[in-house]
Structure 1
């Protein structure tokens, strides 16, 4: 009886081991099993929208930190503060976002929307951005962290915000957008915070588009090489009738008329008399002769 119980226990133990190995093997073979990159949230499902098939972007679609689709046109009529960053930045990005967090806390409840676009979307998935936002205590009602496709984000930076964006490379300036979509400022958060606050207060108070010259109006596209809007040259256009400085002018040779030289009369020159320097004579000749003494009487 004891031998039978021992054999039964051994069989149960063996069956449990086989079941465990089978389950583990199935998990290894599953294509939807969580991988290491998915655990830290670096893999996401994002497709560039069809609206990107234009020469010049005027709006865009990305994913926010919750994984929801974000449409830039949803902020039409809002004052906005836009910046670029990436979560793995070892230096300035977190300092920049700490400054933005203070602005968002003060101006978010007043109606300003804050957008932070990553330039490292391959790593910065919505899950990563959510943890980053939580660390900054960012209110999603006012502050969106956006990710998507790097090439598409580069176009967003160039076409809409007029900023160069590369993988893990970005400008430190904050772009201030008014209610009509005009870029009114590109300011440094380290040295121009008073100006940033003053401009935000001004733009919030505006009820109609002001008659001021914005930094960028109508967001002209960048040219691929020069970075200037299409139709603009690197140098200012010359005035009507003026020649472009790069075009050399061919000067027509002018025939010089021979000039007759009038003979000049030479005036006789008077020779000045030269004073002859006295010659040194023998000192014996210059001395007067010695007087001749008469004999004494």
Structure 2
């Protein structure tokens, strides 16, 4: 009998611990838990200086506030031919959908390069041309001060590791930012439709 009681207690303690780390059984992985926390309590992202393909210099938060639209944000480097190329294609799809659905007054795109050493404004402009980025919808920029890069990547949950050949290995996602600089949602690579629908719905709430 004591053995049975002990086993039950161990099971209950294990379930309680799992409930804590899985946000009450709603998620299993730490990344899923982070994404749930972002949706429930949107964190404020760091305010970093940016310089873009049009040589415009400002801060991320000043840009967001002045613009007023919800932004879908990704992190890339222009020499990447793998994950970034997929992200670029997906942002092209998003740009097309935003324009076709008449959402350009409510939604915008921002691509931020984590390779400021190589991705100066000229390189960003070439990438913008390759992606056929419409400046009114899609801004392509990098950090103006490399010292601000790491805290920015950490806040967004972006992991970047040099690959030893001059490139990088990195994760990829679509991040939704409110105009006040708070991160409200993270979608996986490939989830273009759900990211767009959620952002459009949120922008509609904001506009009302």
| Residue in structure 2 matching 1:151, options 138, 147, 150 | 147
Task: Give TM-score scaled by structure 2 length.
Answer: 0.64
Unaligned runs of 5+ in 2: 1-43, 163-167
1:57–1:182 distance in 2 versus 1, CA, 3 Å: closer
Q: Structure 1: which 4+ aligned runs deviate by more than 4 Å?
A: none
Cα distance between partner residues in 2 of 1:183 and 1:153: 17
Q: Show the counterpart of 1:84.
A: 75
After TM superposition, give the deviation of residue 82 of structure 1 in Å. Answer: 0.9
Q: CA offsets, 1:104-153, max 9 Å, x none? A: 23226233121111121111111011011011110112211112343322
What does residue 63 of structure 2 align with? Answer: 74
Contact 2:107 2:200 in 1 (8 A): no
Correspondent of 1:136 among 131, 143, 156 = 131
State the distance in 2 between where 1:105 and 1:70 align: 26
Deviations 1:180-217 (A, max 9, x none): 43322111132x223212202211111289xxxxxxxx
Q: Distance in 1 between matches of 2:45 and 2:106?
A: 25
Instruction: State yes or no: 1:189 paired with 2:200.
Output: no
Counterparts of 2:159 and 2:63 in 1: how far apart (Å)? 24
Residue 64 of structure 2 contacts residue 181 of structure 2 at CA under 8 Å; is this kept in 1? no
Could you say if the C-alpha distance between residues 87 and 58 of structure 1 is closer, same or farther in structure 2, counting changes exceeding 3 Å?
closer
Structure 1, unmatched stretches of 5+, are: 1-55, 210-297
Alpha-carbon distance in structure 1 between the residues aligned to 2:141 and 2:200: 25
* Mapped pair 1:205 → 2:201: no
Q: Check conservation: 1:57, 1:155, Cα contact below 8 A.
A: no
The CA distance in 1 between the partners of 2:126 and 2:71, in whole Å, is: 23
Change (3 A) 1:197 1:104: same
Number of residues paired by the alignment?
152
- Within a 5 Å distance, the mapping from 1:96-245 to structure 2 comes to 96-107=87-98, 109-147=104-142, 148-159=144-155, 161-166=156-161, 168-190=168-190, 192-207=191-206
Measured at CA, do residues 179 and 122 of structure 1 come closer, stay the same or move farther in structure 2, by a change above 3 Å? closer
Deviation at 1:166, TM superposition (A): 4.7
* Two-structure CA RMSD over aligned residues (Å): 2.4
TM-score (norm 1): 0.46
SS state of the match for residue 153, structure 1?
helix
The answer to whether the 8 A contact 2:50-2:58 is kept is yes
Greater gyration radius: 1
Match of 2:4 in 1: none
Q: Is the 8 A contact 2:69 2:179 kept in 1?
A: yes
Please identify which structure carries the higher strand content.
2
Measured in 1, the distance between the counterparts of 2:137 and 2:58 equals 13
Give distance in 2, aligned partners of 1:116 and 1:57: 15
